Amino acid sequence: MIAEKSTITPYETFNDPGKIETFLRGSLRIHAHLDWRRPQEWFNNPPCVLSYDSSSVTSILSLAPDPAHLHWVRFFATQREEEYTPAWITLFDAIKEIYPFSSEDRLVSLCYQNWMETMLASHGWQKVQKVIVLNWQGNLPIKKKQDKHVAIRLMKEADLPHVFQIDDSCFSSWWKFSQTTITLAFEQSAYATVAEVDGQIVGFQISTADLYRAHLTRLAVLPYVRNQGIGARLVENMLWHFSVPWIKQITVNTQHDNKSSIHLYENNGFEYQGEFFPIYQYSL
């Protein structure tokens, strides 16, 4: 029996949401880097292409930018387990043809699974960095007297413009969050705080949690007030917040070459135990 040939189309021209939902429920090979969004929220932001036949969607690839010009591989999935590499080649070639990239664009992928890394490495992508996972193994920090110089309080919605400005000034282009992503991170956080000096917000942290695990998602302190213990205060406060019986694990991710970040976390009881995720880049 000859297999039916699939059609490739931009997501925005495909008008069958039911088939998309069915595909998402039945995909056998999935890479997802969603940052507080549902897959469809990324699909609605080009570039995104899919393949389909007469009965179903067979694969989807999204490289939606966030912020502008930074194109992480947000979602790739295929319905047919044995055909994920051909599906990738077809969809990636289609994206490059349908949505021409500029010299300002960066195409990158955070590889959570070995198959994704192997596939990218075999098709022109280069490993450029890795994100390491640190697990908290220490004792709770001693609660210190209130520092009149630094105040830690809960983050409020009204703080978000300041939080975004801090985030934008603290992270390099690959790691910047858009204002939308900062807002979503805050709205879906388990615990979010800001650090104030003389009434001015100078740092923040945003953490998530599930039934047993907490994760420090974002930590930033303005450059001009670094090395004053403000980052440590934010981390210590977060650790105390999650010092409850049902939280069994607290983690944080950072770049393998970010020595100051690693030093801060290690000083607060976090340890690197070998888990990491490689980052690949495609040169345009």
SS3 284: coil
Residue 42 belongs to a domain: yes
Quick one: pLDDT at residue 138?
76
Q: Both 106 and 187 in a single domain? A: no
Residues 180 and 241 in one domain: yes
Structural domain including 34 reads 7-123
Can you tell me which residue has the tokens 């179903």?
56
DSSP per-residue string spanning 199-262: TEEEEEEEEEE-SSEEEEEEEEE-GGGTTSSHHHHHHHHHHHHT-STT--EEEEEEETT-HHHH
| pLDDT tens figures, 85-123 | 999 999 999 999 999 999 999 999 999 999 999 999 999
Q: How many domains does the chain have?
A: 2
Model pLDDT, residue 2: 44
Angle at 205 between CA 128 and CA 257, to 5 degrees: 25
Q: Is residue 146 part of a domain?
A: yes
Question: Are residues 148 and 262 both part of a single domain?
Answer: yes
Average pLDDT value for the chain: 94
Q: Which of these three, 67, 100, 123, is where a domain ends?
A: 123
Q: What is the mean pLDDT of residues 117-137?
A: 97
Which range (5-9, 69-73, 100-104, 142-146) has the least confidence?
Answer: 142-146
Same domain, 143 and 272: yes
Distance separating alpha carbons of residues 252 and 264, to the nearest angstrom:
11
Per-residue pLDDT tens for 36-65?
A: 999 999 999 999 999 999 889 999 999 999
> What pLDDT, in 10s, does the model give residues 147-191?
778 999 999 999 999 999 999 999 988 899 999 999 999 999 999
Burial class (CB in 10 A: 0-12, 13-18, 19+), 242: buried
| 147 and 51 in a common domain | no
Average pLDDT over residues 5-15: 94
**137 — pLDDT class (breaks 50, 70, 90):** confident
Whose structure tokens read 């807002």?
A: 183
Give the per-residue pLDDT at 1.
40
In a domain, 142, yes or no: yes
Residues 102 and 167 in one domain: no
Q: Is the pLDDT of residue 28 over 80?
A: yes
- Domain membership flag for residue 46: yes
Domain assignment of residue 128, yes or no: no
Helix (H) or strand (E) holding 25: helix 17-26
Q: What is the pLDDT of residues 206-265, one digit of tens each?
A: 999 999 999 999 999 999 999 899 999 999 999 999 999 899 999 999 999 999 999 999
- Start-to-end CA distance of the chain, whole Å, equals 39
Is the per-residue pLDDT at 5 higher than 90?
no
**pLDDT at residue 9 tops 60:** yes
Residue 83 in domain = yes
**pLDDT attached to residue 145:** 59
* CATH value at residue 71: 3.40.630.30
Are residue 13 and residue 87 in the same domain, yes or no? yes
Same domain, 92 and 140: no
pLDDT of residue 27: 86
Q: Nearest 5 degrees, angle CA 189-CA 195-CA 197?
A: 160
Residues 72, 181, single domain; the answer is: no
Strands 106-110 and 270-282: antiparallel
pLDDT of residue 63: 99
Return the closest-CA partner of residue 207 out of 229, 240, 230, 179.
Answer: 240
- Are 161 and 87 contained in the same domain? no
CA angle 106/110/113 to nearest 5° reads 145
In a domain, 185, yes or no: yes
> Same structural domain for residues 158 and 267?
yes
User: Is it the case that residue 146 has pLDDT exceeding 70?
Assistant: no
In a shared domain, residues 267 and 144: yes
Q: How confident is the model at residue 76 (pLDDT cuts 50, 70, 90)?
A: very high
Residue 141 located in a structural domain: yes
